[in-house]
């Protein structure tokens, strides 16, 4: 693995940032994205099969990692064709090109493929997506599973990582409100999940790639929480509990802004990683503290 050739697509986002920094000194790496926002990125639109194939054939990777995704749930509901083109058809492209060069394929999936009727989901629970985003990601999973044998499908939960420049998820949204001077936050307590720290995730994928244990893996931090729990923990880490008030609200409080249906529970458990003694994912509270202290020191210092 340390001498491998790794081709990463969609590497310009918050997860790609972690993959690049974890892998860059361990393998020969080519990192690409449709948004060339770093000097170490090259341009590639994975929906363009011919260009995708050309770059993979030129590089001759041992491993192809497929990270790109359209993750805005509301945008996916309003633009389903674009969602399927990016989240499903492009994954099919990755299968075709990886298969042609005999490379192991890593596809990043999501907890959002489940309907939320169960409290927890292990690696063998059957997906039943309730929105366009979840269905488009699950169709990608199915295609990989049915059309290739050398693959790892790794399911992430509520993503956190990369800092204010690239984090488009919940933690950064809360941090931006706090940095702007907001002292009262409305946060839902009826959506449950398991956070995923991007750096742990990249590390765990690296460990998986050392093994022959192909298949589907849940890959989230330990312990679960609500969005409200995460917000409470952020305020605790910042030592702002006396001045910032957090109000519990239900999801319908934000129904105009976040109208896409969301499962009540997206809680994953890493059963397969645990049984194979391959789980390196940390506790979400510990990783949240590490993340904030590393990437949001300007907010802490400002206070």
Q: What is the CATH number of the domain that holds 50?
A: 3.40.50.720
Average pLDDT of the residues in 87-98 = 98
Answer yes or no: is 200 within a domain. yes
Please report the pLDDT score of residue 299 as a whole number.
77
With respect to residue 181, please indicate whether it lies within any of the assigned structural domains: no
Closest CA to 60 of 5, 2, 3: 5
Per the domain annotation, does 82 fall within a domain?
yes
pLDDT bucket at 164, cuts 50 / 70 / 90: very high
In which band, very low, low, confident or very high, does the pLDDT at 215 lie, cut at 50, 70 and 90?
A: very high
The Cβ of residue 302 has, within 10 Å, a number of other Cβ atoms equal to: 9
pLDDT score at 303 = 61
Domain assignment present for 146 = yes
pLDDT band of 153, cuts 50, 70, 90:
very high
% of residues, the chain, pLDDT over 70 = 98
Digit-coded pLDDT (tens) for 169-196 = 999 999 999 999 999 999 999 999 999 9
Q: Is the pLDDT of residue 85 over 90?
A: yes
Q: How far apart are CA 233 and CA 45, in angstroms?
A: 38
Phi, psi of 99 (to 5 degrees): -65, -35
Under the banding of pLDDT at 50, 70 and 90, the label for residue 297 is confident
Contact between 128 and 177 under an 8 Å Cβ cutoff? The reply is no
83 lies in which domain range? 5-169+194-224+268-282
Domain presence at residue 179: no
pLDDT at 1: 55
How many domains are contained in the chain?
1
Which tokens belong to 69?
């995704």
Whole-number pLDDT of residue 300 = 73
- Inform me whether the pLDDT recorded for 302 exceeds 70: no
DSSP run (H or E) holding 41: strand 41-43
What mean pLDDT do residues 198-205 have? 98
252 lies in some domain = no
* 3-class SS shares of the chain: helix, strand, coil, % to 5: 40, 20, 35
pLDDT in the model for residue 3:
67
Quote the pLDDT of residue 171.
96
- Structural domain includes residue 238: no
Task: Tell me the whole-structure pTM to 2 decimals.
Answer: 0.95
- Contact between 200 and 291 under an 8 Å Cβ cutoff? The reply is no
Instruction: Determine which of 118-122, 257-261, 268-272, 296-300 has the lowest per-residue pLDDT on average.
Output: 296-300
Q: pLDDT tens digits, residue range 21-43?
A: 999 999 999 999 999 999 999 99
Q: Which long-range contacts (CB under 8 A, 24 or more apart) does 35-43 make?
A: 36/12, 37/12, 37/166, 38/12, 41/11, 41/12
Tell me, yes or no, whether 277 lies in a domain: yes
Confidence of residue 301 (pLDDT cuts 50, 70, 90): low
For residues 5-32, give the mean pLDDT: 97
Average pLDDT over residues 142-154: 98
Mean pLDDT of 66-82: 97
């Amino acid at each position: 693995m340390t001498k491998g050739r790794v081709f990463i697509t969609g590497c310009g986002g918050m997860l790609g940032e972690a993959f690049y920094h974890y892998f860059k000194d361990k393998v020969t790496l080519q990192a690409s994205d449709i948004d060339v926002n770093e000097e170490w990125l090259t341009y590639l639109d994975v929906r363009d099969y011919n260009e995708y194939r050309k770059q993979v054939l030129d590089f001759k990777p041992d491993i192809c990692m497929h990270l790109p995704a359209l993750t805005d749930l509301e945008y996916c509901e309003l633009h389903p064709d674009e969602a399927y083109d990016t989240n499903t058809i492009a994954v099919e492209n990755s299968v075709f090109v990886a298969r042609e060069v005999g490379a192991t394929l890593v596809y990043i999936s999501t907890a959002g493929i489940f309907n939320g009727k169960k409290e927890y989901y292990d690696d063998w629970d059957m997906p039943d997506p309730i929105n366009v985003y979840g269905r488009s990601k699950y169709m990608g999973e199915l295609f990989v599973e049915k059309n290739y044998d050398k693959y790892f499908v790794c399911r992430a939960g509520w993503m956190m990582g990369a800092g204010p420049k690239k984090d488009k998820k919940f933690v950064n949204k809360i941090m931006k409100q706090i940095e702007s001077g907001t002292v009262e936050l409305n946060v839902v307590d009826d959506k449950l999940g398991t956070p995923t720290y991007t750096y742990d995730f990249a590390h765990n994928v690296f460990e998986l790639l050392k093994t022959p244990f192909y298949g589907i893996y849940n890959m989230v931090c330990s312990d679960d929480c609500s969005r409200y729990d995460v917000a409470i923990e952020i305020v605790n880490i910042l030592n702002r509990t006396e001045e910032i008030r957090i109000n519990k609200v239900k999801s319908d409080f934000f129904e105009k802004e976040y109208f896409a249906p969301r499962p009540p529970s997206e809680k994953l458990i890493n059963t397969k990683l645990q049984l194979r003694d391959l789980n390196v994912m940390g506790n979400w509270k510990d990783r949240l503290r590490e993340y904030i202290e590393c990437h949001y020191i300007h907010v802490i210092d400002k206070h």
